[in-house]
Amino acid sequence: MSWWVYILRCGDGTLYTGTAADVERRLAAHRRGRGAKYTRGRGPLAVVYREACPDRGAALRREAAIKKYRRAEKEALITDYAERRSRMKKAAFIGTGNMGAPLIQAACRAVGAEQVVVANRTRAKAEALAAEIGGWAVQADVADPVQVGRMVDNVLDKFCQLDILICNAGIAQQKLFGDLTDDDWRRMFAVNVDGVFHAVRAALPHFIHRKAGRIVTVSSMWGQVGGSCEVAYSAAKAAVIGLTRALAKELGPSGITVNCVSPGVISTEMNAHLDREALAALAEETPLGAIGTPEDVAEAIWYLSSDAARFVTGQVLAPNGGLVI
């Protein structure tokens, strides 16, 4: 769990520096007279600065450092924070997965290029994709909750706001069920399911505080109907759909929409192993007679991220050419 250093401006003009895992809850305690002794009777109280830290120990160290600042130095921190918030615009956070640039471009349409944050397990890939659109790159393995928590904290520290979370990071594997190992199974769920859980959990306090947010997960048609020789992948993607629907019901009262995009056969790195004949057969089997493109998936994600989908939640949008109906 992330921790924060915050500065309060008291009614008498003085400043108080503290730490908290939940700044809003701590502020409420201060206002009730149950926070620090210093703030009692000094209302009204307002948070004028906050800074994300990876853990409680780091927050305490940063608090000690700020408390040693002269008044002018503290005011400079507050001024810089206020200026960043005044420039605040919508921000989208994306695990890029296999859709790459088209997905990022869809996010750009929804929020504007400068506010798109691209996350990938490989820093070079994240930076290359971000460079295409002038976005911001971060490196992390979504299977690691600590790395994901730090990513979200960094986004909030930079942009002061997060509006859209797109959970697209994923892996696939073709293997007979009898040949699957424990490691195969665990890694499939660690990335495809745990990764969504970690990202949503890290971003959720911010969404709930704002009573707004768009969460878009990415499943697969195999999560809907199951795929032979892809049992682990199918099970993981089915779990993403279940998570999406349940979360939509839970978060709806907080003004947060949660939807899922479930692509069919798409021309991405994940399907690079298919030869021309296999792709032709799949295209023939698809009612629309073609293999999908990353742009087709990106358009669906863009719609669910946009204001046009403000009354849409708990739904599975399936750009699959009619292959699964």
| Active site members | 233
Using an 8 Å Cβ cutoff, are 68 and 15 in contact? Answer: no
CA distance 142 to 140: 6
CA distance 145 to 19: 22
CA distance 160 to 16: 21
**Peptide bond between residue 44 and the one before it cis (omega within 30 degrees of 0):** yes
CA distance 284 to 17: 65
State whether the Cα torsion 218-224-230-231 is positive or negative: positive
Q: Which residues, listed in sequence order, are joined to residue 53 by a DSSP beta bridge? A: 3
- Angle at which helices 145-159 and 195-210 cross, to 10°: 30
Would you call 144 helix, strand, or coil by DSSP? coil
Instruction: Find the helix or strand (DSSP H, E) in which 36 lies.
Output: none
CA distance 56 to 49: 17
